[in-house]
């Protein structure tokens, strides 16, 4: 990832409910400073003179407590700790609740070329949004060759070698009313260390598809806004491969899994051959995955039923003390 | 594994037509062929992947071929770049 500067922070295009509403008050020359960590520091202790373990490389958030302590320091004309605070080359300082620092504070910031920002949000709300934003900015990313689609609300990453029919399968899924996130190159980001979000590598080129024989098509124009999505969590991997006579494919539905960027995801290997409709198989896999999420495991439940049935057969045999149950008897004795 | 350093010599950068020529060339070989730009690595057999690289004039790229015919593949790809996709 290239550098993330304070200017980038101000320029972020965030949606309504997680907008940071930041404005720059002073220290414009410091806007090009890089933010290097995903942490946010509350400089309360530093203002009181305790600089051990002070995180000078992170964003400094002045909440209500820090602000009232600052007023106290200013009243006593005690600028020593504030000067020392700025000597750490802070990326920026942020004042919450729409407040402005004093003239002298701004002068010190200007002198140290540190941007002073303000937001009308309260610190709890701001911190929550800011942490989420920083998590996304500093997320580990990886680009993968595959197609990401959303089927019945499940994010499915379809992988497989070139020409196996990933895009064709995705196209049919879209025809059936599902959504495309990205074709061919999928950018994965690992968020809060436990899930993966996939999106197109470049928003300008996203939602285009290359279909052999047709060329490049624009799905947004062809199918409308309902057929596309910007990003989606990857919840299931579907790997397409050529049907191999010698290979044993899963016949019962035990769960395979694969680890991508340290996160284990359920995986299905689908052999592709003539006459197998890949799109409807993927649809079925998505339905099955939703059942699993609800705690219902089709193949396990089936196995349980078989076991129960065998058990009851055995019990019945014992009870009636017969060697074999006659076909016709079965229904009468069931009740 | 055979690797080569490539440079885009066409002024227009890698747009649709050069991308299709790269994919076409790459598809002639068995080997796994990938192109790297900074921290991005894509499959050279896919047109959309190549376009996504956003390679402009004088962009430096890194070619990685792996497989039975990697030498020939790397050679062909290098020629294609050297000849400005003519």
- How far is Cα A324 from Cα A78, in angstroms, rounded to an integer? 98
- How far is Cα A211 from Cα A166, in angstroms, rounded to an integer? 10
- How far is Cα A193 from Cα A208, in angstroms, rounded to an integer? 30
Q: Which pLDDT score is estimated for A224?
A: 92
Do the Cβ atoms of B48 and A185 come within 8 Å?
Answer: yes
- How far is Cα A329 from Cα A212, in angstroms, rounded to an integer? 61
Ordered domains of chain A (ranges, CATH): 6-137 (3.40.1390.20), 140-293 (3.40.50.300), 298-334 (no CATH)
- Give residue A269's Cα distance to chain centre: 23
Q: Which pLDDT score is estimated for A326?
A: 56
Nearest to A188 by CA among A180, A199, A179, A173: A199
- How far is Cα A25 from Cα A100, in angstroms, rounded to an integer? 8
By the CB < 8 Å criterion, does A211 face chain B? no
What DSSP string runs through A170-189? HHHHHHTT-EEEESSEEEEE
Q: Which pLDDT score is estimated for B86?
A: 80
By the CB < 8 Å criterion, does A202 face chain B? yes
Do the Cβ atoms of B41 and A143 come within 8 Å?
Answer: yes
Residue-wise burial string across A170-205, b where 16 or more C-beta atoms lie within 10 A, e elsewhere: bbbbbeeebbbbbbbbbbbbbeeeeebbbbbbeeeb
Catalytic residues of A: 145, 166, 184, 251
Ordered domains of chain B (ranges, CATH): 2-82 (3.30.1340.10)
Do the Cβ atoms of B52 and A208 come within 8 Å?
Answer: no
ipTM above threshold 0.90: no
Q: Which pLDDT score is estimated for B41?
A: 86
Residue B15 catalytic?
A: yes
* Cβ–Cβ under 8 Å, residues A169 and A159: no
What DSSP string runs through A46-77? HHTT--TT--TTSEEEE-HHHHHHHHHHHHTT
Q: Which pLDDT score is estimated for A328?
A: 53
Find residue B33's DSSP bridge partners: B65
- How far is Cα A207 from Cα B82, in angstroms, rounded to an integer? 32
Q: Which pLDDT score is estimated for B62?
A: 94
By the CB < 8 Å criterion, does B24 face chain A? no
Residue-wise burial string across A207-229, b where 16 or more C-beta atoms lie within 10 A, e elsewhere: bbbbeeeeebbebeeebeeebbb
By the CB < 8 Å criterion, does A212 face chain B? no
- φ, ψ (nearest 5 deg) of residue B11: -65, -35
Q: Which pLDDT score is estimated for A335?
A: 47
Nearest to B4 by CA among B67, B73, B83, B57: B73
Say yes or no to pLDDT of B3 above 50: yes
Q: Which pLDDT score is estimated for A332?
A: 52
How many inter-chain contacts (A to B, CB under 8 Å) are there?
A: 41
Q: What is the pTM of this model?
A: 0.77
Say yes or no to pLDDT of B49 above 60: yes
Q: Please report, in tens digits, the pLDDT of each residue of chain A (335 residues total).
A: 568 888 888 888 777 777 888 888 888 888 889 999 989 999 999 989 899 999 989 999 999 999 999 999 988 888 888 889 999 889 999 999 888 888 889 999 999 999 999 999 998 999 999 998 898 888 888 888 899 999 999 999 999 988 888 989 999 999 999 999 998 889 999 998 889 999 988 877 888 888 888 888 999 999 999 999 999 999 999 999 988 878 777 777 767 899 999 999 999 999 888 778 899 999 999 998 998 888 888 778 888 888 898 888 888 887 776 555 555 555 555 54
Q: Which pLDDT score is estimated for A322?
A: 59
Mean pLDDT of B42-62: 89
- φ, ψ (nearest 5 deg) of residue A8: -60, -40
Dihedral-angle region of residue A262 (phi above 0 means left; psi in -120 to 50 means alpha; beta otherwise): left
Residue-averaged pLDDT of chain B? 90
Please report, for residues A20, A34, A95, A196, the alpha-carbon distance to residue A127 in angstroms, rounded to integers and kept in the order given: 9, 19, 12, 22
Q: Which pLDDT score is estimated for A321?
A: 66
A208 in helix, strand or coil?
A: strand
Instruction: List the single best residue of B19, B47, B51 to mutate versus A (max A Cβ within 10 A).
Output: B51
């Amino acid at each position: 990832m290239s550098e993330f500067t304070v200017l980038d922070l101000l320029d972020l295009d965030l949606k309504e409910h997680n907008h940071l509403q930041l404005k720059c008050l002073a220290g414009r020359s410091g806007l090009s400073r890089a933010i290097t960590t995903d942490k946010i520091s509350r400089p309360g202790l530093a203002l009181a003179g305790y600089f051990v373990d002070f995180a000078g490389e992170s964003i400094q958030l002045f909440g209500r407590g820090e602000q009232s302590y600052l007023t106290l320091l200013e009243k006593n004309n005690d600028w020593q700790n504030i000067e020392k605070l700025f000597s750490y080359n802070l990326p920026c300082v942020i004042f919450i609740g729409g407040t402005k620092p004093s003239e002298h504070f701004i002068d010190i910031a200007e002198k140290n070329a540190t941007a002073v920002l303000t937001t009308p949000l309260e610190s709890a709300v701001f911190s929550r949004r800011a942490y989420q934003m920083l998590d996304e900015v500093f997320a580990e990313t990886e680009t993968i060759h595959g197609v990401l689609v959303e089927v019945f609300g499940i994010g499915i990453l379809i992988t497989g070698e070139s020409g196996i029919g990933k895009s064709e399968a995705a196209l049919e899924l879209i025809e059936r009313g599902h959504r495309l996130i990205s074709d061919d190159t999928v950018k994965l980001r690992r968020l809060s260390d436990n899930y993966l979000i996939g999106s197109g590598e470049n928003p300008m080129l996203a939602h285009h598809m290359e279909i052999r024989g047709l060329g490049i098509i624009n799905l947004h124009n062809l199918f409308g806004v309902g057929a596309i999505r910007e990003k989606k969590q990857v919840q299931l991997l579907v790997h397409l491969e050529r049907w191999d006579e010698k290979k044993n494919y899963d016949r019962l539905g035990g769960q395979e899994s694969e680890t991508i960027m340290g996160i284990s995801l359920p995986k299905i290997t689908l052999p592709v051959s003539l006459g197998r409709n890949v799109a409807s198989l993927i649809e079925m896999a998505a339905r099955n995955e939703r059942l699993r999420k609800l705690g219902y495991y089709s193949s396990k439940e089936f196995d349980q039923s078989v076991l129960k049935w065998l058990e009851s057969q055995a019990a019945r045999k014992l009870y009636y003390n017969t060697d074999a149950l006659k076909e016709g008897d079965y229904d009468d004795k069931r009740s | 594994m055979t690797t080569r350093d490539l440079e885009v010599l066409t002024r227009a950068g890698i747009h649709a037509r050069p991308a299709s020529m790269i994919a076409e060339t790459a598809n002639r070989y068995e080997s796994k062929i990938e192109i790297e730009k900074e921290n991005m690595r894509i499959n050279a057999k896919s047109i959309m992947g190549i376009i996504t690289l956003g390679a402009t004039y004088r962009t430096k790229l890194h070619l990685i071929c792996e497989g039975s015919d990697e030498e020939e593949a790397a050679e062909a790809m290098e020629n294609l770049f050297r000849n400005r996709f003519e």
